[in-house]
Amino acid sequence: MTRKFIEADHEAALEMRVRIGDVLPASHLARFIVGIIEQLDFSTIYAVYGERGAPPYAPELLFGILVYGYATGVFSSRKLEKATYESLPFIYLAEGEHPDHDTLNTFRSRFLTEIAELFVQVLLIAQAAGLLKLGNISLDGSKIHADASKSQAVSHARLLELESRLRQEVEQLLALAAAAEREKWPVDFDPDHEIRLRNVHLAGLKQAKAVLEARAQAHYAQELAEYAAKIAAREEKTQETGRKPGGRPPQPPTLGPEDNDQYNFTDPDSRIMKNGNKAGFEQSYNAQVAVDHASRLIVGNTLSNHPSDRGEALPTVDAIPAQLGRPAAAALDNGFFSPDNIAGLEARGIDPYIATGREAHHLSWTHFFEQNPPPPADASAIVKMAYKLKTDIGQAIYRLRKSTVEPVIGIIKEVLGFRQFSLRGLVKVAGEWTLVCLAFNLKRLHVLAL
């Protein structure tokens, strides 16, 4: 064969010297992140460190590793540690150091409040650079898997069954220990150990039952208010149309836990939520974002363990830093629709555009000839909003949801690959979600700055 090939000399390659500056051009994301970090104020983090002990890693170094990892789909602290040995961008960000996974995870968990402050600082840098001019926004939420398995969850009905069975077993073991002669017991059988084991389980079940009862008490008032609102809406519709609405009338809530109320022993703050993609149920949290229409930057974020989005609109809007100003208008899907959300957004000086139902995928050609007369002054909130969405400005603002907030959530889940939290507990998970949003914003700013 006369054809010549370029062959690899792996032994010689081991002796090659690589200059990181040649591999990472000035436009590389890692170098952009370092440039942003140099403008951030880490004084609140530095203030936490004491004077004693071995020299710790600088907060800028650890933050750079974490945020670049989240921006490129590396979330595990062990994988981040490994990357400081094997990946040139991480070696550059770590300045040749190798913080172990425990150090990285401790920094991530310990400084969640300070990371939220850095999220605001990055937005202010974008605003100062002219890359962010807060105007109209879109809101949306997504269910993200908790660091907990639903196999570690127990329903209230199952909890009562287990409690009854364990109490019965304890009584049987106590009777056996009192009546039977120790010489006749099976080898390695210790009734005292078996009783202690079941009492530990009973203590855990007692705690779970108390949590479920407290949750039920807290939800009862909210469900009662929602029930009253639904009844009022049905009565209003009956008066408008002259006939009763179809479907079953809403049922009043009952006080106390329901049989299917769940408690998870791994992460008690998480909840069983329906996964829209798989139409199944997973142990999850409900993450929310507010996205600026022009820049596609996340300007506000919240996280809760409420399966419904209806109560998340106002907290998410309130999470937008006051230094950025107030958005002019907000577009939300029908999962957020409620008269309270409309009134709350208007009270904040934000013009709401909230879908009143699901959009039809295949509209008839007659749709283009339909008239849209203004509703009467005494029309219901849903009628007024339906009219508003059909106006030219309403359609223009609401349509931008599909090219703003929905792609942002899609990028976080599909491109970055963030589908499960690494931390546990509502407070820590909310902090990790802010870290995810911060990483997304840095990646987006990198694109806008090019």
Condensed to tens digits (0 to 9), the pLDDT of residues 366-399 reads 555 566 677 787 788 888 888 898 898 999 999 9
Q: What is the mean pLDDT of residues 186-209?
A: 83
Phi, psi of 165 (to 5 degrees): -65, -45
**pLDDT at residue 331, as a whole number:** 96
Nearest-CA neighbor of 442 among 69, 20, 43, 142? Answer: 69
Most confident of 171-185, 347-361, 401-415: 401-415
Statement: 132-149+271-449 belongs to CATH 3.30.420.10: yes
- Return the structure tokens found at 193: 């150990």
Q: Could you tell me if 336 and 312 are in contact, meaning their C-beta atoms sit under 8 angstroms apart? A: yes
Q: What is the mean pLDDT of residues 162-176?
A: 85
Report the range of poorest mean pLDDT among 56-60, 71-75, 85-89, 191-195.
191-195
Question: Is residue 414's pLDDT more than 90?
Answer: yes
pLDDT at 1: 61
What is the residue extent of each domain of the chain?
A: 15-110, 132-149+271-449, 151-262
DSSP symbol at 229:
H
Residue 360 has pLDDT above 60, yes or no: no
pLDDT of the residue at 114:
95
Contacts 24+ apart (CB under 8 A), 447-450: 448/126, 448/131, 448/295, 449/32, 449/129, 449/131, 450/27
- Kindly report which listed range (191-205, 247-261, 406-420) carries the lowest average pLDDT score: 247-261
Q: Can you tell me whether residue 285 is helix, strand or coil?
A: strand
Q: What are phi and psi of 357, to 5 degrees?
A: -175, 180
Task: Give the residue among 65, 73, 76 at the shortest CA–CA distance from 30.
Answer: 65
The Cα-based distances of 194 to 111, 152, 198 in angstroms read 42, 22, 6
Lowest mean pLDDT among 121-135, 176-190, 266-280: 176-190
* pLDDT computed for residue 279 by the predictor: 62
**Most confident option among 274-288, 302-316, 348-362, 371-385:** 302-316
Please tell me the predicted confidence (pLDDT) of residue 245.
77
Which carries the bigger pLDDT value, residue 254 or residue 125? Answer: 125
State pLDDT tens for residues 84-108: 999 999 999 999 999 999 999 999 9
Q: Which pLDDT does position 364 carry in this prediction?
A: 59
Q: Which residue has the higher pLDDT, 161 or 434?
A: 434
What's the chain's average pLDDT?
A: 88
With cut-offs at 50, 70 and 90, classify the pLDDT of residue 229: confident
pTM for the complete prediction? 0.85
Helix (H, G, I), strand (E, B) or coil at 441: helix
Q: Has residue 151 got a pLDDT over 90?
A: no
CA distance 322 to 87: 38
Per-residue pLDDT of 104-113, as tens digits, reads: 999 999 999 9
For residue 223, what pLDDT is reported? 77
Which two structure tokens, joined as six digits, stand for 135?
């105007």
Q: Secondary structure of the chain: what % helix, strand, coil (to 5)?
A: 55, 10, 35
